[in-house]
Amino acid sequence: MGAPQLRRKCRSLLSGGDPAACAKTGAEACPTMAGHRFDTCGMDRSVKSRLGFSRPVVLTFVRYYLPGYKSGGPVRTIANLVAALGDELDFRIVTSDRDATDTMPYPHLDGRSEWLDVRKAKVLYLSPSQMKLRNIARIIGEVPHETLYLNSFFDPIFTLKPLLARRLGLAPRNRCIVAPRGEFSPAALDLKAAKKRVFLAVSRGAGLYRDLIWQASSEHEAGDIGRTIGGIASDIRVSANLSAQVDGKSEFPHRPREQGEPLRICFLSRISPMKNLDFALEVLRKVRASVRFDIYGLVDDQDYWKICQNISSILPNNISTSYLGIVDHEDVLATLSRYDLFFLPTRGENYGHAIIESLAAGTPVLITDSTPWRDLSNKGIGWDLPLDDGKAFAHCIDYVSALSQEECKRSRDLAVAFFREHQKSLKTIADNRALFTRPTGR
């Protein structure tokens, strides 16, 4: 079929012959029209199928994915991306067959090693014995794809091995996007700093950085990538993480705090030095108000957890703490909604899913100034404070404790309104779409 005939067929299928229907948004190359281009963005999937178009394949490597939930952010980041763009892009996800800290595979796999449909993506779950370099290279070679998408920098299996496979010629060198997911922030690089410096030097010397696209979730992270990788990171693209889609009619239960009842605060994140739970506990030692502090999350570092437990044991009598385990992602919003304040003094976040989810649930947040969520006090939905001022954190907690029920309700309403406005942003979806469809170097 020639170009004019195919264009006419396109117009007919789209709108009964309306030529303008094919020229509303963007353009996509047609596989049957060598050297020709015409507009197809915005087409219904069935129309594209009848025209012979297929969705661009994004071969995605990420250490943990659904139904996993213990590792936090990256699982939610990819799940939200698939939910938003899975009708336009063909996501093939390669991941571990078990969740973080688990020793057994997901029960539903039943020993199978095949591509499975998981919502809008196809997922291949690998056992530890299947994570060898040669098998990783085989998967990359066998799955025709436009983009290889790696969701970490320091992961030795799900990033290093795909990059090695490309570098050694064991797998095709298609366009490759690396998303460091906050691993290049100064605070993150300070953790196990010597080991990371060696990794960076060796991988740079091996030429693993060549011809890569780097995804940053903010302009701030783009700066971190540039400083860490240097001039060879010539193609850095900013596309913010997508938040989970929450039904605008959804309401989450919140019982107003009665006079004399302790202030209800929660920490919901991985328990690791990066998330800074020990700092939160030290802050509580300075608080005068009566507080119930509940801790949720995967214990990522047992030695660090012992430090936190030791601090908990010497807190004053006006502070009570409890560790309540890990929350399934489906229950996160309902859990957060039960509290008066979400406290996460993180050393740094490239996004911070739990922060925006707390606001979606109507719970104000007390966080550091090392996340994308800033100027919260002026918005009436929380505080973002520097880590070198522990007294300021304690003052905020005492302030919230003194608020009336009416003042608390106003803050909760503002938090939900902020989330709903954020959720409406079409630019974030457009930026993520462009990440996978815009040509390299543009």
* Per-domain residue ranges of the chain: 25-54, 57-242+427-437, 263-423
pLDDT of residue 5: 47
The architecture in CATH of the region 57-242+427-437 reads 3-Layer(aba) Sandwich (3.40)
Domains 57-242+427-437 and 263-423 share a fold: yes
Look at residue 53 in the predicted model and tell me its pLDDT. 54
Cβ atoms of residues 79 and 65 within 8 Å: yes
Helix (H, G, I), strand (E, B) or coil at 89: coil
At residue 35, the pLDDT reads: 35
Element (H, E) at 30: none
> What pLDDT does residue 441 have?
54
Cβ contacts of residue 190 below 8 Å, gap of 6+?
none
Taking the C-alpha atoms of residue 183 and residue 174, their distance in angstroms, rounded to an integer, is 24
What was the pLDDT predicted at 440? 64
User: Which segments in the chain show pLDDT lower than 70?
Assistant: 1-53, 247-251, 426, 440-442
Tell me how far apart the alpha carbons of residues 49 and 38 are, in angstroms, rounded to a whole number.
16
Residues 6 or more apart in contact with residue 212 via CB below 8 angstroms: 176, 177, 178, 233, 235
pLDDT at 43: 43
Nearest-angstrom CA–CA distance, 339 and 317: 20
Burial 152-187 (b: 16+ CB within 10 A, else e): bbbbebbbbbbbbbbbeebbeeebbbbbbbbbbbeb
Strands of the sheet containing 382-385, edge to edge, are 319-323, 291-296, 263-268, 341-344, 365-368, 382-385
Class of the 263-423 domain?
Answer: alpha beta
Query: In the prediction, which pLDDT does 248 show?
Result: 53
Query: How much is the pLDDT for 370?
Result: 92
Cα–Cα distance between 422 and 357 in angstroms, integer?
A: 11
**Quick one: which of 323, 355, 320, 322 has its CA closest to 341?**
355
